[in-house]
Structure formats: structure tokens, C-alpha cells
Amino acid sequence: MASNTTNDKPKGAAKRGFAAMDEATQRAIASKGGQAAHQKGTAHEFDSEEARRAGQKGGEAVSRDREHMAAIGRKGGESRQSAARANAERIRGTGAEQSAKGGNKQ
């Protein structure tokens, strides 16, 4: 059998419709839908209590994953440590410059 060389596309689902659009076009269409829902009065808006409950529920779900929480804490600790080191270097650098210029005499 001879292979069909005119159609060398890989098999699978091709992007069509909304998925084939660039991000800016998708945003524009979604924005129009949101505006229409608000004008019609069917758009959902969170009140502060409902938003608080939703955030709490999400936080509880995330905090169940101990490995994820450990990674978050480790990343925060590393960030804080590197910021402290950079600040200490900046302060030491400023002090060295002042003493080299003859400043900071007592």
C-alpha cells in the first residue's frame, strides 16, 4: 500500500472554535458575555460573607496537601532569607563606602 502524502497531519483533535482563538479574542468575547449577564440581571456577585466562606473552603482544601504546604513554607523561608542577606550586603556595602571616603567619623 502507498501512503497518503497529501495529508500528513497528525491524528487527534484539532483546535476549533473558542480554543482556536487567540487569548485577546477570547477575553473580548467573554467580557461581552459578562456585561450582558449584568445588564440582564442574571450575573452572580459575591457578597463579603459568601466570598469569605469560599476563600475559607479553598484554603482548607489546599492545606490538606501537606507536601504542598511544606513547599510553600520552604519557598517563603528561602525568599525571606535571601532578602535578609541582600539587605545585609547592601548595608555592609554602604558602610564600607562611607569609611573609604572618610565619612562616619566619631
Does 99 score more than 70 pLDDT?
no
Cell readout for 32 is 461581552
- Percentage, residues of the chain above pLDDT 90: 42
What are the backbone angles phi and psi of residue 5, rounded to the nearest 5°?
-85, -10
| Over residues 38-52, mean pLDDT | 89
Contact predicate 34/43, CB 8 Å:
yes
Cell readout for 87 is 539587605
| Over residues 83-94, mean pLDDT | 88
Report d(CA 34, CA 93) in Å as an integer: 53
The mean of the pLDDT values for the chain is: 82
| Over residues 36-62, mean pLDDT | 90
- C-alpha distances out from residue 41 to 28, 33, 44, 50, 104, Å: 20, 12, 8, 19, 67
| Over residues 63-72, mean pLDDT | 91
| Over residues 13-17, mean pLDDT | 84
pLDDT of residue 41: 87
What is the pTM assigned to this prediction? 0.35
Cell readout for 6 is 497529501
| Over residues 11-21, mean pLDDT | 83
Q: Domain segments of the chain: what residues? A: 48-100
